[in-house]
């Protein structure tokens, strides 16, 4: 047991009376989380980026509702007690992990499981849109131009999905259902998953390259000029992982030089994407505003998941979705 939390199958007493949950709120118009299930069981405090550092010492639990903010990274190294548990309403944890949080006994959990299938469906929609040239069809409709074209059949094509976590596995299952031969690449080789040593070989054969990897020191900038050069000219690249996984200037160059046929990005190194970014006008690139996992009711699902995790903690059961802070993600099959 570490810091009052079970680390394997051991149980521990629940939180003491008067437990305080601090919520790092997202900026309006994003609504606060629905935490009615904690009424009478925990004291709920709220903070924004400016007040977080001052309120951290008051909290037993921190709910990072604003998962785009790096306020936790900046506030955590300060003085005073720190929450024993941090939960982020996102799959990635790169926005909050700092050396001080990684080194302490505080348990970190994430929203693993909420976004898997919605993101997989979004990727499938992008593949179909790119294969069937739907962006051009919409452009021609606005121009009232009748221009017959031939499009691509996706059944029988090949996909390389980089990232073997729940999101990557959901993407692979969904693409397979469309008749796409899919290879899954993870950190280490295991049944059904290729190791990193196979990545370049698989990229060279893929029609669709989907990046669903977590952002860590090992994966930052992994898609660069060399990797885009490995891909075949007919390939399309899709990133629904993290923006910093891609060297964006290299992607713009690869598209401009026709090294690859097209791309779709839902995540960016800087968000919102600046109006003067060359990505807006890169040839063959679809831009969407970090929305691939955000289906109707997604915030309610995130709030309900946190309440369920709190109940596990309260009952002294091992928490799900515990992040390995050294690796930067939740280990699992």
List, for residues 247-262, the tens digit of each pLDDT value: 999 999 999 999 999 9
Q: Tell me what pLDDT residue 18 has.
A: 75
Q: What band does 17 get if pLDDT is binned at 50, 70 and 90?
A: low
Of 47, 48, 42, 36, nearest in space to 21 by CA: 42
pLDDT tens digits for range 283-308: 999 999 999 999 999 999 999 999 99
In the chain, what percentage of residues exceed pLDDT 70? Answer: 95
Range name among 10-24, 65-79, 89-103, 197-211 with the lowest pLDDT average: 10-24
Residue 332 has what pLDDT? 82
Give the pLDDT band (50/70/90) at residue 121: very high
* pLDDT tens, position by position, 204-219: 999 999 999 999 999 9
> What confidence score (pLDDT) does residue 4 get?
40
Tell me the mean pLDDT in the region 87-105.
97
CB 127 within 8 A of CB 208: yes
Q: Cα(163)–Cα(296) distance, rounded to whole angstroms?
A: 25
List CB contacts of 324: < 8 A, sequence separation 6 or more. 330, 331
Mean per-residue pLDDT, 87-107: 97
194 is a catalytic site residue = no
Element (H, E) at 140: helix 134-142
Q: Is 190 a catalytic residue?
A: no
**Which listed residue (95, 169, 242, 299) is catalytic?**
242
Instruction: Say whether 62 sits in a helix, a strand or coil.
Output: strand
Reported confidence tier of residue 11, pLDDT bands at 50, 70, 90? very low
Contacts of 120 (CB under 8 A, 6+ apart): 167, 170, 171, 173, 174
Which of the pair, 18 or 223, is modelled with greater confidence? 223
Q: Encoding tokens for residue 6?
A: 């079970």
Is 148 one of the catalytic residues?
no
Tens digit of each residue's pLDDT (9 = 90 or more) over 272-281: 999 999 999 9
Residue 6 has pLDDT above 80, yes or no: no
Give yes or no for residue 35 having a pLDDT over 70.
yes
Crossing angle of the two packed helices 116-131 and 134-142, in degrees rounded to 10: 60
Q: Which of 46, 290, 317, 320 is catalytic?
A: 290
Is the pLDDT at 118 greater than 50, yes or no? yes
82-116 b/e (C-beta count within 10 Å ≥ 16 → b) = bbbbbbbbbbbbbbbbeeebbeeebbbbbbbbbbb
Strands in the chain per DSSP E: 20-24, 43-47, 61-64, 85-88, 107-109, 158-162, 181-185, 208-211, 236-239, 262-265, 285-287
Q: What is the mean pLDDT of residues 18-35?
A: 95
Asked if residue 66 has pLDDT above 60, the reply is yes
Mean pLDDT of 85-106: 97
3 state SS of 24: strand
On the question of pLDDT at 1 being above 50, the answer is no
DSSP 67-134: TT--HHHHHTTSSS---SEEEESSS--TTT--HHHHHSS-EEE--TTSSHHHHHHHHHHHHHHHHTTH
pLDDT of residue 15: 54
Q: Say if CB 101 and CB 76 are below 8 A apart.
A: yes
Rounded Cα distance, 330 and 321, in Å: 6
Q: What is the mean pLDDT of the chain?
A: 94
CB within 8 Å of 265: residues ≥ 6 apart: 238, 239, 243, 246, 251, 279, 285, 286, 287, 288
Residue pair 44/38 in contact (Cβ under 8 Å)? The answer is yes
Q: Give me the catalytic one of 136, 271, 308, 327.
A: 271
């Amino acid at each position: 047991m570490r810091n009052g939390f079970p680390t394997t199958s051991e149980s521990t007493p629940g939180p003491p009376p008067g437990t305080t949950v601090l919520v790092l709120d997202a900026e309006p118009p994003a609504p606060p989380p629905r935490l009615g299930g904690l009424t009478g069981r925990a004291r709920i405090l709220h903070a924004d980026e400016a007040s977080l550092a001052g309120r951290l010492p008051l909290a037993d639990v921190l709910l990072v509702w604003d998962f785009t903010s790096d306020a936790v990274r900046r506030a955590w190294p300060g003085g005073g007690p720190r929450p024993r548990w941090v939960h982020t309403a996102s799959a990635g944890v790169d926005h909050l992990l700092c050396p001080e949080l990684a080194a302490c006994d505080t348990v970190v959990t994430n929203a693993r499981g909420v976004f898997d299938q919605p993101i997989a469906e979004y990727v499938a929609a992008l593949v179909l849109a790119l294969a069937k040239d739907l962006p051009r069809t919409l452009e021609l409709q606005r121009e009232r131009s009748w221009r017959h074209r031939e499009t691509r059949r996706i059944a029988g094509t090949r996909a390389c999905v980089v990232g073997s976590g729940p999101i990557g596995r959901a993407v692979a299952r969904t693409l397979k259902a469309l008749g796409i031969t899919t290879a899954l690449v993870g950190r280490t080789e295991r049944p059904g998953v290729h190791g990193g040593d196979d990545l370049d070989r698989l990229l060279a054969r893929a029609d669709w390259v989907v990046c669903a990897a977590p952002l860590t020191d090992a994966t930052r900038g992994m898609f660069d000029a060399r990797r885009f050069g490995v891909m075949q000219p007919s390939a399309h690249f899709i990133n629904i992982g993290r923006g910093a996984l891609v060297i964006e200037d290299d992607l713009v160059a690869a598209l401009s030089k026709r090294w690859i046929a097209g791309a779709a990005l839902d995540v960016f190194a800087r968000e919102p994407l600046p109006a003067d970014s060359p990505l807006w006008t890169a040839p063959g690139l679809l831009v969407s505003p970090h929305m691939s996992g955000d289906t109707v009711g997604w915030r309610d699902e995130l709030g309900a998941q946190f309440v369920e995790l709190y109940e596990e903690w309260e009952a002294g059961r091992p928490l799900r979705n515990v992040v390995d802070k050294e690796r930067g993600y939740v280990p699992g099959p």
